[in-house]
């Protein structure tokens, strides 16, 4: 039993393992000493962050073989895709978070969690310095340090203000749960202020002008949620000001949702037009004050200002200070995010892994290798390959770099297959390598920077935990199962991102989805697909039930507009 085992272990250790037992006892004690030694030899894994990447790594990690410690200023995991719904009370904040300690409990409490932020990574000495983020007058040290054998950096990113004056002071952000809760309160503040006696109509109008800077998925989804909230609840609760409400989306590019298929961005713009949401494209915000947003119209170079009641800044992300500091230490200071190889190992830093929004896979080598493969195949230096040679080269590339396949098979397939046909549409005998390389340059730009999404972060976390779980097996077989020409043998397959599609909820129970294989789906049925996917992707049954019941509550009773 565990108790007798502990007793035995204690006796064995206290006597240096030399106590004479009967033969069978001696065997057991030997085993227990071995187990103790093995325990002591457990490699220390420190994980920074409890977001998509960190939690997906922990969920699948075989914690019995490692001594695992997790550091994060948030003692919960947040389901970020539903944050826009929290801003308007469509779902409650607590429904989309799962306490880290619940997750630890499910892993037999073999993981230790420290609520703190890592403020310094000392890669040379395999140490990190942490500081508690609990701001109150509790006693005890705030700072502590941890040593690691393996470090997994999954700290995500922070909002990027592009150093625009006034943004930090006067804008809301939509990155954390607290941000969504703040927006929810501020929207109600705008309405309550607008109906106070003694305000001019212009003042009421300004208070009810909601501006969203950034026409990406988050900005667009928030605009759509807010529009639904106003139309379905607030116009009935504040009927005197219902005609004064205005929502504006400011986008620096030519279209909103420009990372989606153009059918989706076109549909979104038309829908917003019908809903009365103003979309101002080609405008770059140059400053934000508490009263106005000042922007430059790209086409005319003109500068104009618009008054606002509330501004939500949703323009992109940048690296966190602790990551920037590490990048300086390891010679990556000139990069935007941490560069890893395809096994998610940090370049220039042993036993450190980086995943999720704080990292990107550096694929420059892939493109160099692909060029080399072409050169080798083009024996007569003609710049042309026969169809057979060309297909062999493609197979070779895909065998070595399977992550390229997604791009060859989706968006860029037409570029590639076009090369196999002449302008009349007849099959060619030979393929022009330069043309193919040009087509691949799209692939290069796409694969170099995987999108900063939960999908990528979660897949990377799951991949890395599998590698960690098989590390011992691989150490016993150092040759590893796979050989890659020119780069030796590797123990694991490289990380391969599988794109499962992306959604853009557009309000009015309509959504757009870009599905694998360039499928586009738009409308009410897509919204139901969105509901089912997001319910199924919840990290626990508890949050799944809470989220679904919030949706049901909203259908029956509407959203709660109390300012609490
Ligand atoms: P995060 O999930 O941000 O986690 C980072 C973790 O690190 C957090 O726990 C944080 O507290 C912790 N941390 C921060 N600093 C430190 C430190 N110094 N030391 C230790 N820990 C630290 N993606 C999609 O695929 N689909 C969507 O629909 C979608 N919608 C989104 C909607 C919104 C509003 C937002 C903000 C993002 C959305 N995303 C979506 C993007 C997605 O949330 C991110 O790509 C994903 O969260 C990245 O995961 P991550 O683990 O790298 O970082």
Task: Report how far ligand 1's centroid is from the alpha carbon of 156 (Å).
Answer: 5
Q: Half-sphere exposure of 471 toward its Cβ, with a 13 Å CA cutoff?
A: 17
Atom of ligand 1 nearest to the CA of 119: 18
The CATH number corresponding to 167-316+500-557 among 3.50.50.100, 3.40.1710.10, 3.90.1300.10, 3.40.50.1110 equals: 3.50.50.100
Q: How far is CA 67 from the centre of its chain?
A: 26
CA distance 219 to 217: 6
Atom of ligand 1 nearest to the CA of 50: 9
Are the C-beta atoms of residues 398 and 464 closer than 8 Å to each other?
Answer: no
Cα dihedral 534, 537, 538, 544 in deg (nearest 10): 60
Backbone angles phi, psi at 69, to 5 degrees: -125, 140
The reported pLDDT for the residue numbered 26 is: 43
Task: Report how far ligand 1's centroid is from the alpha carbon of 357 (Å).
Answer: 7
pTM of the model: 0.82
Write down the CATH number for the domain with range 42-157+319-361+452-486: 3.50.50.100
For the domain made up of 363-449, the CATH class stated in words is: mainly alpha
Would the CA dihedral through 192, 197, 201, 202 be positive or negative?
Answer: negative
CA distance 55 to 49: 8
81 CB under 6 A from ligand 1?
yes
Strands 172-173 and 310-313: parallel
Task: Report how far ligand 1's centroid is from the alpha carbon of 79 (Å).
Answer: 9
Task: Report how far ligand 1's centroid is from the alpha carbon of 399 (Å).
Answer: 32
Q: List own/partner pairs for 340-347 with CB under 8 A and 24 or more apart.
A: 341/365, 341/494, 342/366, 342/403, 342/494, 342/495, 343/467, 343/490, 343/492, 343/494, 343/495, 344/460, 344/463, 344/464, 344/495, 346/153
Residue count (the chain):
564
User: Considering all CA atoms of the chain, what is the largest pairwise distance in Å, rounded to the nearest integer?
Assistant: 95
513 CB under 6 A from ligand 1?
no
Sheet of strand 502-507, all strands in order from the earlier edge strand to the far edge:
502-507, 510-515, 519-523
Strands 43-48 and 66-72: parallel
Task: Report how far ligand 1's centroid is from the alpha carbon of 149 (Å).
Answer: 25
**CATH topology identical between 42-157+319-361+452-486 and 167-316+500-557:** yes
Task: Report how far ligand 1's centroid is from the alpha carbon of 20 (Å).
Answer: 56
Atom of ligand 1 nearest to the CA of 55: 51
Task: Report how far ligand 1's centroid is from the alpha carbon of 316 (Å).
Answer: 12
Are the C-beta atoms of residues 241 and 195 closer than 8 Å to each other?
Answer: yes
The reported pLDDT for the residue numbered 303 is: 94
461 CB under 6 A from ligand 1?
no
**Which of 168, 172, 170, 164 minimizes the C-alpha distance to 287?**
164
Choose the residue to mutate in 46, 47, 49 for probing ligand 1, maximizing ligand atoms within 8 Å of C-beta: 49
Choose the residue to mutate in 51, 74, 547 for probing ligand 1, maximizing ligand atoms within 8 Å of C-beta: 51
Atom of ligand 1 nearest to the CA of 53: 51
The reported pLDDT for the residue numbered 458 is: 96
**Cα angle at 218 between 273 and 519, to 5 degrees?**
75
CA distance 131 to 400: 43
69 CB under 6 A from ligand 1?
no
Backbone angles phi, psi at 517, to 5 degrees: 80, 25
Choose the residue to mutate in 57, 82, 457, 506 for probing ligand 1, maximizing ligand atoms within 8 Å of C-beta: 457
315 CB under 6 A from ligand 1?
no
Are the C-beta atoms of residues 246 and 208 closer than 8 Å to each other?
Answer: yes
Residue nearest to ligand 1 atom 13, measured at CA? 155
546 CB under 6 A from ligand 1?
no
216 CB under 6 A from ligand 1?
no
The reported pLDDT for the residue numbered 224 is: 98
Domain spans in the chain, listed from the N-terminal domain onward: 42-157+319-361+452-486, 167-316+500-557, 363-449
Tokens linked to 351: 């036993």
Are the C-beta atoms of residues 24 and 430 closer than 8 Å to each other?
Answer: no
Atom of ligand 1 nearest to the CA of 78: 2
The reported pLDDT for the residue numbered 398 is: 73
Secondary structure class of 356 (helix, strand, coil): helix
Q: How far is CA 536 from the centre of its chain?
A: 18
146 CB under 6 A from ligand 1?
no
The reported pLDDT for the residue numbered 546 is: 98
**Which stretches of the chain score pLDDT less than 50?**
1-38, 410-413, 446, 483-488
The reported pLDDT for the residue numbered 380 is: 83
The reported pLDDT for the residue numbered 372 is: 80
Tokens linked to 61: 């990690």
Residue nearest to ligand 1 atom 32, measured at CA? 81
CA distance 305 to 288: 9
Residue nearest to ligand 1 atom 10, measured at CA? 49
Q: Cite the DSSP H helix spans in 306-432.
A: 321-329, 364-377, 387-400, 405-409, 413-418
**Which of 457, 492, 479, 251 minimizes the C-alpha distance to 357?**
457
361 CB under 6 A from ligand 1?
no
457 CB under 6 A from ligand 1?
yes
Residue nearest to ligand 1 atom 27, measured at CA? 81
Task: Report how far ligand 1's centroid is from the alpha carbon of 81 (Å).
Answer: 10
CA distance 343 to 421: 37
Task: Report how far ligand 1's centroid is from the alpha carbon of 356 (Å).
Answer: 8
The reported pLDDT for the residue numbered 438 is: 65
């Amino acid at each position: 039993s565990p108790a007798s085992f502990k007793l035995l272990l204690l006796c064995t250790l206290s006597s240096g393992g030399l106590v004479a037992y009967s033969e069978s006892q001696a065997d057991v004690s030997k085993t227990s000493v071995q187990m103790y030694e093995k325990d002591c030899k457990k490699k220390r894994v420190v994980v920074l962050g409890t977001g998509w990447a960190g939690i997906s790594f922990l969920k699948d990690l075989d914690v019995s073989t490692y001594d695992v410690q997790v550091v994060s200023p948030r003692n919960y995991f947040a389901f970020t895709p539903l944050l826009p719904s929290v801003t308007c009370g469509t779902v409650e904040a607590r429904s989309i978070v799962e306490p880290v300690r619940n997750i630890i409990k499910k892993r037999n409490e073999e993981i230790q969690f420290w609520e703190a932020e890592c403020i310094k990574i000392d890669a040379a000495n395999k140490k990190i310095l942490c500081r508690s983020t609990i701001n109150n007058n509790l006693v005890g040290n705030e700072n502590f340090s941890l040593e690691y054998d393996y470090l997994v950096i999954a700290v995500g990113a922070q909002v990027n203000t592009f150093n625009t004056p006034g943004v930090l002071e006067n804008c809301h952000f939509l990155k954390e749960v607290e941000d969504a809760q703040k927006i929810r309160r501020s929207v109600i503040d705008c309405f309550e202020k607008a109906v106070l006696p003694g305000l001019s109509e212009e003042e009421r109008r300004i208070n009810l002008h909601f501006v969203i800077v950034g026409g990406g998925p988050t900005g667009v989804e928030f605009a759509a949620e807010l529009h639904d909230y106003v139309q379905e609840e607030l116009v009935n609760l504040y009927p005197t000001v219902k005609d004064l409400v205005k929502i504006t989306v400011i986008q620096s590019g030519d279209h909103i949702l420009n990372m989606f298929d153009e059918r989706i961005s076109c549909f979104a713009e038309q829908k917003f037009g019908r809903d009365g949401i103003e979309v101002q494209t080609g405008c770059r915000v140059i400053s934000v004050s508490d009263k106005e947003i000042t922007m430059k119209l790209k086409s005319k170079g003109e500068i104009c200002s618009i008054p606002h009641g509330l501004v939500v800044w949703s323009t992109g992300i940048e690296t966190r200070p602790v990551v920037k500091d590490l990048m300086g230490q390891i010679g990556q200071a000139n990069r935007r995010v941490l560069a890893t190889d395809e096994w998610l190992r940090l370049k220039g830093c042993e036993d450190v892994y980086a995943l999720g929004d704080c990292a990107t896979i550096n694929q420059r080598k892939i493109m160099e290798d692909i060029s080399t493969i072409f050169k080798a195949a083009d024996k007569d230096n003609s710049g042309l390959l026969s169809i057979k040679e060309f297909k062999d080269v493609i197979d070779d590339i895909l065998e070595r770099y399977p992550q390229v396949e997604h791009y060859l098979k989706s968006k860029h397939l037409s570029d590639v297959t076009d090369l196999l046909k002449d302008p009349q549409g007849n099959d060619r005998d030979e393929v022009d390598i330069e043309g193919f390389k040009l087509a691949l340059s799209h692939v290069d730009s796409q694969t170099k920077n995987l999108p900063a999404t939960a999908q990528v972060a979660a897949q990377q976390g799951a991949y890395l935990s599998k590698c960690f779980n098989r590390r011992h097996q691989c150490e016993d077989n150092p040759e590893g199962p796979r050989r890659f020409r020119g780069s030796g043998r590797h123990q694991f397959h490289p990380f391969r991102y599988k794109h499962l599609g992306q959604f853009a909820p557009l309000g009015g129970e309509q959504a757009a989805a870009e599905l694998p294989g360039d499928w586009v789906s738009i409308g009410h049925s897509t919204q139901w697909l969105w509901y089912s996917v997001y319910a199924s992707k919840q990290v626990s049954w508890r949050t799944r039930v809470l989220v679904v019941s919030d949706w049901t509550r909203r259908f029956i009773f509407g959203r709660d507009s109390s300012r609490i």
